[in-house]
A and B are shown apart, each in its own frame.
Chain A
Amino acid sequence: GAVVSQHPSRVICKSGTSVKIECRSLDFQATTMFWYRQFPKQSLMLMATSNEGSKATYEQGVEKDKFLINHASLTLSTLTVTSAHPEDSSFYICSARVHTSGSISYEQYFGPGTRLTVT
Chain B
Amino acid sequence: AQRVTQPEKLLSVFKGAPVELKCNYSYSGSPELFWYVQYSRQRLQLLLRHISRESIKGFTADLNKGETSFHLKKPFAQEEDSAMYYCALKVQGAQKLVFGQGTRLTINP
Contact = CB atoms under 8 A, between A and B. Distances in A.
A107 B42 CA distance: 18
A96 B95 CA distance: 11
A49 B101 contact: no
B99 A113 contact: no
Interface of A, helix, strand, loop or mixed by DSSP = strand
Q: Which of B51, B95, B99, B101 has the most CB of A within 10 A?
A: B95
Interface residues of B, number: 19
A107 B52 CA distance: 12
A44 B44 CA distance: 10
Give the bracket for the number of chain A residues in contact with chain B.
20 to 34
B95 A97 contact: yes
A105 interface: yes
Contact of A106 (B32, B43, B86, B100): B32
Interface of A: 4, 32, 34, 42-44, 46, 49, 93, 95, 97, 104-108, 110-113
Interface of B: 32, 36, 42-46, 49, 51, 86, 90, 95-102
